């Protein structure tokens, strides 16, 4: 729940990358509930170059100050052998509309 009272749902998303011809990838996506309906999804985490493998998931998000979000999640290294890693480097300064 954000400070403005909107519910945000973060989830492991395989559908969006599949629809964009990145079969086998998994990205973190966020949708907001404004009290009436769910908004459009925002991609929170994926490999910087979407052609590199992304298996991002298990997101945990905190709002450190109004509108400033910090997301930690698990992933894999983008290069083979794709070892598992924890990432804690994505942030948003606009309440989740865009991510670093």
Instruction: Give the separation between CA 72 and CA 37, rounded to whole angstroms.
Output: 26
Does some domain include residue 1? no
Nearest to 53 by CA among 23, 28, 13, 94: 23
Does some domain include residue 48? yes
Does some domain include residue 97? no
Does some domain include residue 2? no
Does some domain include residue 67? yes
What integer pLDDT is reported at residue 47 of this predicted model? 83
Residue carrying structure tokens 């954000």: 2
Does some domain include residue 99? no
Q: Which domain holds residue 63?
A: 7-92
Per-residue pLDDT of the chain (100 residues; tens, 9 = 90+): 887 788 999 999 999 999 999 989 999 999 999 889 999 999 998 887 877 888 988 999 999 888 899 999 988 887 788 888 876 678 899 988 888 8
What's this model's pTM, rounded to 2 decimal places?
0.82
What integer pLDDT is reported at residue 86 of this predicted model? 76
Does some domain include residue 100? no
DSSP category for residue 80: T
> How many separate domains does the chain show?
1
| Chain mean position to CA 16 | 12
Does some domain include residue 76? yes
What integer pLDDT is reported at residue 32 of this predicted model? 93
What integer pLDDT is reported at residue 34 of this predicted model? 87
């Amino acid at each position: 729940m954000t400070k403005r009272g909107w519910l945000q749902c973060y989830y492991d998303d395989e559908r969006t990358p599949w629809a964009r011809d990145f079969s086998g990838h998994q990205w973190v996506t966020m949708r907001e509930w404004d009290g009436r309906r769910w908004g459009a999804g925002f991609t929170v985490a994926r490999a910087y170059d979407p052609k590199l493998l992304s298996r991002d998931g298990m997101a945990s998000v905190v709002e450190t100050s109004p509108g400033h979000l910090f997301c930690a999640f698990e992933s894999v290294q983008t290069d083979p052998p794709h070892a598992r890693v924890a990432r804690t480097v994505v942030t948003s300064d606009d309440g989740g509309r865009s991510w670093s």
